[in-house]
Structure 1
Amino acid sequence: MNQEERMYVVGSQKITIQEEIIGKRILDIGGGGEGIIGLCYGDRVIAIDPRKDELEEAPDGPLKIVMDARELSFLKNSFDAVTSFFTLMYINKDDHEKVFREIYRVLKDNGEFVLWDAIIPEYDGSIKDIFVIQLEIDTPIKIIKTGYGISRKDKDQDVEYFISIGENLGFEAIKVESQDKVFKIIFRK
């Protein structure tokens, strides 16, 4: 069996990033790779990623720091906004609450946590054990076509899953946008 036969592929999903994130200081969780948030918001962003190679690949503009989102090295109330752009799908579900707790800690009062991610169905044990989502991201700078993939095992997630985690830790979900297999949730501290 080849890798392509194992892929559960979600066709192209369109996302538009606008000048919507408030504040002077934005923490971007998982800001390596395409570095979408850093590309859009430049030097207002501190992009963290546990992988140095991913940060080196990201566009210039933000301050880039190798760091694990489960243990942020920032003081309480340091950021006006925190973002996560298709990052939580790569973090073990057992660690999601810990990441949310850290985000809550470093976010200023009334600050916003903006989360974009994919709806990943529960793994059914089939040969299609790799989840792949293709994205077309319309940013103020350029259109980016990319894709993300992970093992489907123990990775199921949806909007309600993340809202539940956030609200249990004190966040308020103030806006939810969902289309096909992608979503954006804006939480307020």
Structure 2
Amino acid sequence: MSGKDRIDTVKKQKLALENNIQGEKILDIGGGGEGVIGGIYGRKVIAVDKRQDELDAAAEGPIKMVMDASNLTFKDKNFDAATSFFTMMFIDKDDHKKVFDEVYRVLKNGSNFVLWDAVIPKEDDSKKDIFLIELEIATPNGLIETSYAVMKKNNEQDIKYFKKLGKKAGFKIESEEDYDKTFKIVFKKS
């Protein structure tokens, strides 16, 4: 079987991001790679990623720090907002709750945590064990075309899963947008 036969591809999903996240200090979980959030908000962003090479690949602008999102070294109530742009799919599912708890801890009361991610189906009996999603992202700075891929095994996720995690961490759901293959949730810390 060729590698191509193993890939379950979600064809291009179109997203539009606006410059509408409030605050002077924004934590971006997984801010390496394309660095979409850092590209929009620049120096307001502290981008954390476990991998230096991912941070190096991101555009200049945000402050970049190698850090594990499940064990943030920031003080409590330190950020005006937090984001996660197609990052949770790359974080071990066993650490998702810890990440939500840490984001909740470092956010100021009344702040938002904005999460965008993909719907990853449960692994089935087919030979397609790799999930790949193609994205076209319209930002205030221009169009970004990219794709993200992960193994399907133990990576099933959807909007309901993350809403439940957010509520367990103490967040309220401010808004949600479900686009079938992708979603956006705005959580609010009371």
TM-score in same-fold range (> 0.5)? yes
CA distance in 1, matches of 2:92, 2:127: 21
Q: CA deviation at 1:178?
A: 1.2
Which residue in 2 is equivalent to 1:171? 171
What CA deviation, in whole Å up to 9, does each residue of 1:90-112 have, x standing for no partner?
Answer: 01111100000000000000110
What is the alpha-carbon distance in structure 2 between the residues aligned to residue 187 and residue 125 of structure 1? 35
Shift, 1:19, TM fit: 1.1
Partner residue in 1 for 2:7: 7
Quote the Cα distance in structure 1 between the aligned partners of 2:180 and 2:106.
Answer: 32
Which residue is 1:79 aligned to?
79
| Aligned partner of residue 60 in structure 1, secondary structure | coil
SS across alignment from 2:22: coil
Corresponding residue of 1:137: 137
Question: Aligned AA for 1:138?
Answer: A
Counterparts of 1:81 and 1:101, CA distance in 2: 14
Matched residues in 2 for 1:74 and 1:63: separation? 14
Please say if 1:32 is aligned against 2:32: yes
- What is the CA–CA distance in structure 1 between the aligned matches of 2:122 and 2:157, rounded to whole Å? 8
Q: How does 1:111-150 map to 2 (within 5 A)?
A: 111-150=111-150
Quick one: distance in 2 between partners of 1:28 and 1:2? 36
Shift of 1:180: 2.4
Which residue is equivalent to 1:186? 186
What residue is the counterpart of 1:59 in the other structure? 59
TM-score where L is the length of structure 1:
0.99
Rounded Cα–Cα distance in structure 1 between residues aligned with 2:65 and 2:14: 29
| Structure 1 residue 125, shift from structure 2 partner | 2.9
- Which residue identity is paired with 1:103? V
What is the letter of the counterpart of residue 81 of structure 2? A
SS at match of 1:149: strand
The C-alpha deviation readout for 1:147-175, integer Å capped at 9, x for no partner, is: 00000001010001000011012100110
Alignment partners' CA distance in 2, 1:11 and 1:74: 38
Question: Match of 2:162?
Answer: 162
Give the TM-score normalised by structure 2.
Answer: 0.98
Map of 2:101 onto structure 1: 101
Q: Which amino acid aligns with 1:78?
A: N
SS in structure 2 at match of 1:39: helix
1:103-129, Cα deviation, whole Å (9 max, x unpaired): 000000011000000011111132100
Distance 2:91 2:4 in 1: 23
